Amino acid sequence: MSKVVDGTLSSTSLAGMRVAITGSRRASELAHLIKSFGGIPIIAPTVGIETRQDITKEVDHFINTILEERMDYMIFMTAPGIYLLMSTAKNLGFDKKLVEALKQITIVTRSLKPKYALAKHGIKTDLIPDENTAEGIAKLLKNHDMINKKVAVLWHGSYSPLIRNELDRAGAKVFELSVYTYSVKLKESGANILKAMGFNYETPQESKVVNLIEEANKGLIDAITFTSPPSAHDLFKIAEAHHMKDSLQLSLNKEIIVVAVGPSTRKALEEEGVTIDVMPSVYKMGSMVKSLSDYVSQANVYKGRKQS
């Protein structure tokens, strides 16, 4: 039986279950959701963001390219990237010109988060792919006439040549910029950006992640949540560095309920040799926890023992 507490759907379906959280940006919110379903959240962020050194010159060049080349399309992959672009543009005195230029361009966002970030600047999103991945964006744009079109791409922390390659083949000219990277070393750099954006940021600590992996291998974790591809990939990078990659993969596939927030995260886990058990039809944290709750209730699973 579910009920609403403080505007959040809740139940006791996860009662006593230890649910790991690998994300950092909204870890405290996810922990609150897990508690509302009776679960015990275990926060061990596996990934942070790290701003690239001295990006001002690159951002300056990118903005001038947008203004001078008269782009047909602009792709925004992530909200933190938008924040960094706009804040740097403001420091350079280009923010108003940039916003006006973007209002004349067909805007593509990978998901709703960059859409909302752009809306704060009065910029309307025109296209969002059905699948929030680089592949999804490439497929979306290839349905349009891309011959001689100029396309700018503002990347998230994981660069892929896929969009450039696909649009090049379709006849477009592509301009790209990355303003930050995901930090495998789990440095604190980038925390101020996320806090300025309103995220209750949990600082990643490698010792916490190692402890999480050890607990998973001992059967002390019942479910684990992944809210981005880097959270999956970096968990395994840390596991490999500590010689626990194979045992972690076995634990996730045999003993622990694996939860992915959406298709791109599911793909990242599959690339690491892990089969997911739960993915919501609506790719949001609340839906993810509710889907986990439904899975546990319907499959009658507890303490991470998957039913064969």
Strand partners, 3: 10
Concatenated DSSP letters for 78-112?
Answer: -HHHHHHHHHHHHHHT-HHHHHHHHTTSEEEESSH
- Per-residue pLDDT tens over the stretch 41-55: 999 888 666 666 667
In a domain, 215, yes or no: yes
Q: Is 208 exposed, middle or buried (0-12, 13-18, 19+ CB in 10 A)?
A: middle
- Per-residue pLDDT tens over the stretch 227-263: 988 889 989 999 999 999 999 999 999 999 999 999 8
Domain shared by 60 and 173, yes or no: yes
Of 178, 211, 243, the one marking the end of a domain is: 178
- Rounded-to-integer distance, Cα 37 and Cα 39, Å: 6
Least confident of 31-45, 103-117, 196-210, 215-229: 196-210
- Rounded-to-integer distance, Cα 63 and Cα 72, Å: 14
Domain shared by 229 and 275, yes or no: yes
Q: Is the pLDDT of residue 204 over 70?
A: no
What pLDDT, on the 0 to 100 scale, is given for residue 230? Answer: 85
In a domain, 306, yes or no: no
Positive or negative, the CA dihedral 241, 245, 247, 252 is positive
> Can you point out the beta strands (E) in the chain?
3-5, 8-10, 18-21, 40-43, 48-51, 73-76, 106-109, 150-155, 173-178, 180-183, 223-226, 257-260
Domain shared by 121 and 35, yes or no: no
What pLDDT, on the 0 to 100 scale, is given for residue 307? Answer: 47
Domain shared by 65 and 169, yes or no: yes
Range of the domain at 10: 3-48+198-299
CATH at 12: 3.40.50.10090
In a domain, 307, yes or no: no
Domain shared by 11 and 127, yes or no: no
Of 145, 178, 211, the one marking the end of a domain is: 178
Of 131, 146, 178, the one marking the end of a domain is: 178
Domain shared by 239 and 156, yes or no: no
What pLDDT, on the 0 to 100 scale, is given for residue 131? Answer: 84
User: Which pairing describes strands 40-43 and 18-21: parallel, antiparallel, or unpaired?
Assistant: parallel
User: Quick count: other Cβ atoms within 10 Å of Cβ 243?
Assistant: 8
Find the angle CA(131)-CA(221)-CA(20) to the nearest 5 degrees: 45
- Per-residue pLDDT tens over the stretch 94-122: 999 999 999 999 999 998 889 999 999 99
CB-based contacts of 255: which residues, under 8 Å, 6+ apart? 216, 219, 304, 305, 306
N-term to C-term CA, the chain: 26
Pick from 142-151, 191-200, 228-237, 298-307 the range whose average pLDDT is largest: 142-151
Domain count, the chain: 2
In a domain, 258, yes or no: yes
